[in-house]
Structures are given as structure tokens and as C-alpha cells.
Chains A and B, each alone.
Chain A
């Protein structure tokens, strides 16, 4: 197990470096400087500005400096647009919000999805099964940017139950729609995955043996069927997590929740390169960390993977 963990970490480190270098080069290969504006800046001021942000150095010096700052000091540098704020401050502002509804959506997607899928498999061909299958097929075509307006239409404009946006310190009314919008399509996929793998496991030999021994159905399912049935679901957790983070862009835009997604889109519109890179690298690091956790979880469930 230890050597497996070590091997996995050996892949994670270069991945992060590639991400940093790649996004850095993309930014710096772009035509025009971040200070290109409609009204030309006098050359002396431009030179001063570039000196302040280190843009007058050769590219590789800038790159090494940037990597050093990010890796050793967690410092993403100053924002190119908001002159008095650093990227770290902007991220620290929005990240807790994104984390709150992101983690909630993730938990909802996994818990509801697994429960629905497992129940559908246990009561195969019952009304519960049909409803689950129906929902999971239908929800495939309801990504977050489709769910968000539909939810607002129903719960805000028609029923008037929930506020159409805002955050207000994360009170539950402001959380309901973002969480549903983010989790629906992934909940459906997880339910479908769980159902099909559970059906397969329930017909396998070790379950039949447990039944023949007279073990109660509840214990068979909880102790023997659930763990192997979880394997495909666990490998799907990585993509789900990425989708929650990516989806936060839509959620922040549509519900004005003020997470890092908003910072990212605004940065894209303002060409605030350092902020875009900061968010991308943070998200990438989280993704890499999470896929590491998922792989370890997978190896723990299925000992065959380790070797």
C-alpha cells in the first residue's frame, strides 16, 4: 500500500508543475500586455508598471519566480486589475463560499444518488426502480446551466418560496437552489451507476452463499453487497468533484453567490491574468489532490488495484 501511495504522489507532482507552466505560458504567449488599454499609456509609466509586476524580465526568469512563489509561499502575486488587492485576498474571499455549496452538492449527489440507485436495484422492476431510471435518464440533459434558470422560474418567479440569488452568509434559503442545480445531473449518473453495479453484485456467488446461509437481507446488502457495488461509483467521484468546481462558475454567475467562479469569470472578462492563473492552479491542485484521495480509496476497497 505504501509503495502504491508513493507511486501515485510521484505522478501528482509533475502534473501540478505541468499545469502551472502550461497556464503561465498560455498567458504570456497571448498577444498584447495586460496593460493594453484603449487609451495608450505613456511609455515611461508602462515601463514602470512592467517593472513592478516583473514583466520586464526574461520569460524563464518570470516563470521560475512564479513557480517559486506559488510552490513555496502559496503566493499568486498581485491582481493585474484590482490594483490594491492580491490574488490571494480575492481567492480567500470567495473560496469558503464555493467550498460550502460545492461540498454540500457533492454530498447530496453521492448520498442521494447511491441511496436511490441501491434501492432501485434491490427493488428491481418496482415503481421505485422505474422512477429512478426515468429520473436518471431525464437528468442527463439537465446540466447546471439548464437547471439554474428552471429552478429560479419555479421556486422564485412562480411560487415565490426562495430568493433568486445572493448569499447572505450562507443561510439555507440561499443554498437550496445552487445545491440542487449543481448536483442533479451527477446525482442521476451516480444513481444509474450504482443501480447497474448493484444489480450485478446481487447476482454474484458470494451473495447467493450469504443468502443460502440464511443471513438477513439487510445485513447482506450492507455488509456484502454495498462495498463491491461502490467500485464504479468511487471511480466516478473524481469527475463529479471536478464538475462541482467547474459548475461553481455558472452558480456564481447565475445566483450571485460570490464564490471564486465569479472571480474567475470577471478575471476572464477583464483579462486579469494573474487572478485567472491563481484560480486555475488552485482548482487544479484540488483536483489532483482529490483524484489522489479517490485512487487511494479505490485501492483500499479493491486490493487487486494495489499490485
Chain B
């Protein structure tokens, strides 16, 4: 035999002395995510965009409403981006500072994205978990409802809602969120179905835990991985939906703005040679959506290794 008994003994004592610490699945996932260069870069980009939204307004003396009367009427000649004039991103068609407006648009777009996804995740997770856990006729009924709602052209319904109840940001994100929990509930239901026959659920039921508590304390935490991944991918689609509606002029109202409204304005005025009005909002929109997709992909790889 070629084994070196000395070395083996040495290793055995070393292992006995060191306490072996297990890694939780979450720690494993974190390691996998931290090693994913694309996802980490995207995360850094997202943090930068968030910082821009939070503190960007500190670095300019203009706000999103004030009109700079020096450039009005000559926006194409004088309103270009420059550090000297203080309009870092130039001004818009009315002479308002585009930097300040982009900061404000970023705040609103991110807020709609995150809150809308939040509404969708909470509603979708609870709905799917209840439907999957209870099963039987209730499950059948609840999923038929989802089928029916799936077939409704939700962008049109959302616009009807905004017209009927007045345009406001809160209605916008509640509406976007409430109309997009359907996919979430289907995914969660599928996961719940496979979870509910596991031993730990059986044990909980045998020891007399109520159904509501089992769903909240045992089912939902185990769904967290899937939910987190899906939520990250849901945020960019929320941002897109909001931008779509604001692009049509049916979303946020002046003087508030969002990426969609800014892109719409920029697209309308670019023929006057004021290309920066399109370029800056578009840049932020594209970069952020990209970053969310990469973070979402990274999270999926990290949390669901069997899917690779």
C-alpha cells in the first residue's frame, strides 16, 4: 500500500481539533452569487443607479420644476449638456434641468418597479400557496380564476382603470402589481404542490399546527428562493409597463416624471437637434433593465443550481 500512515494520522488529529462548520444552503447560494462576475457587476450598477436616485439631487442647484429662462426658446443652441452652465444633462424643451428631471424620473421608475413587484409578489405568493396547499375544489376554482384573468389584455384594463379613477402614481403601481401576480401565483402553486407532501409538513400537521400557520411558517419560507428570483425579474417588467403607459402620456403627471415620460419627451423633440433629451433617460432605462436581468439570472444560478 502506498498510504502514508503518518500523514493520515496528522490529518485525523487536525480534523478532530478544528470544529467543522457546515454551510447553510443560503451561504452556498451567496458564495455562488459572489463568484458570478456578470451578476456582481450588474449589482454594482444597480447600487449606483439607486444612489443616483437617492442623492443625485444634492449635486445640482436646479430642481425638476424650475424653468431656466436663459435657455428658453433656444434650447437647441444653449440647453446642451455642459458642466459650465450647471445643466449636466442639458435642459428639456421648456428649459427645465434634465439632470434634476432624470433624478426624479429614476426615483419614480424604481419606486413603481419595486412596489409593483412587491404587490405582485405578496398577492401571488399567498394566492399560489393557499391554492396549492389546500388543493381540491378550491385549488381548481382558484386556478380557473387565474386562467380567466390571464386572458384579459391587462395593459388595456390598466389604462381603463387610470382613466376611470384618475391618474395617480399610487394607482399606477397598485394596478400594475395587482394585474401581474398571475404568473407568480402559478409558479408558487407548482412549488407548493411539491412541498406539501414533504415530511416536515406532515410532521407539522401531525403536531396540530393550523393550516394558516403551516402556509406562513413552513411553506412560504421554503418558496423564498423561487420568489426572490422571480421578483428580481418582475421589477424590470414593472418598470417597462410603467414606462409604456407614461410614454403614452397616461401615466405620471407633470411636473412629476418617469423614464417613460422622459423618453417620450425626448423622442418627440429629437428632430429639433436636442438629442440629449432622449439619450440620458434612455441610457438609464436600458442600463437598469439590463442590470436587473443579470442580477435575476445570477440569483437563479445561485439559488437553483439544478436549473443550470
Contacts A145-B247, A146-B282, A152-B267: A280 and B153 contacting too (C-beta < 8 A)? yes
- A245 pairs with B153, CB closer than 8 A: yes
Which of A25-33, A52-60, A69-77, A208-216 has 4 or more CB atoms under 8 Å from chain B?
A25-33
> What's the nearest-Cβ distance from chain A to residue B159, in Å?
5
Give how many A-B residue pairs fall within 8 Å (CB-CB). 116
Q: Kindly list chain A residues whose C-beta atoms are within 8 Å of the C-beta of B289.
A: 140-141
Binary contact track B134-170/A, C-beta < 8 Å → 1, others 0? 0000000000100111011101110111111110000
With the chains together, A291 CA to B148 CA distance in Å? 11
Q: Kindly list chain B residues whose C-beta atoms are within 8 Å of the C-beta of A253.
A: 247-248
Q: Which of A11, A249, A264 has the largest count of B CB atoms less than 10 A from its CB?
A: A249
Which of A15-23, A37-45, A90-98, A167-175 has 4 or more CB atoms under 8 Å from chain B?
A15-23
> What's the nearest-Cβ distance from chain A to residue B256, in Å?
18
In the complex, A250 has a CB within 8 A of chain B: yes
In the complex, A224 has a CB within 8 A of chain B: no
> What's the nearest-Cβ distance from chain A to residue B202, in Å?
31
Q: Kindly list chain A residues whose C-beta atoms are within 8 Å of the C-beta of B275.
A: 153
With the chains together, A250 CA to B243 CA distance in Å? 11
Total number of B residues with any Cβ neighbor in A under 8 Å: 40
- A249 pairs with B248, CB closer than 8 A: yes
Give the residue of B157, B264, B266 whose beta carbon is less than 8 angstroms from that of A22.
B157
- B244 pairs with A145, CB closer than 8 A: yes
Q: Kindly list chain A residues whose C-beta atoms are within 8 Å of the C-beta of B160.
A: 23, 26-27, 268, 276-277, 280
- B267 pairs with A265, CB closer than 8 A: no
List which A100-151 residues lie within 8 A (CB) of chain B.
Answer: 140-143, 145-146, 148-149
- A145 pairs with B243, CB closer than 8 A: yes
- A268 pairs with B159, CB closer than 8 A: yes
- The majority secondary structure among interface residues of chain A is helix
- A26 pairs with B164, CB closer than 8 A: yes
In the complex, B263 has a CB within 8 A of chain A: yes
- B156 pairs with A148, CB closer than 8 A: no
- A141 pairs with B151, CB closer than 8 A: no
Q: Kindly list chain A residues whose C-beta atoms are within 8 Å of the C-beta of B244.
A: 143, 145, 246, 250
- B286 pairs with A141, CB closer than 8 A: yes
With the chains together, A280 CA to B249 CA distance in Å? 19
In the complex, B52 has a CB within 8 A of chain A: no
- B156 pairs with A149, CB closer than 8 A: no
Q: What 5 pairs across the A-B complex have the smallest Cβ distances?
A: A30-B164, A149-B267, A145-B247, A280-B156, A141-B289
| B binding-site residues for A, Cβ under 8 Å | 144, 147-149, 151-153, 155-157, 159-166, 240, 243-244, 247-250, 260, 263-264, 266-267, 270-271, 275, 278, 282, 285-286, 289-290, 293
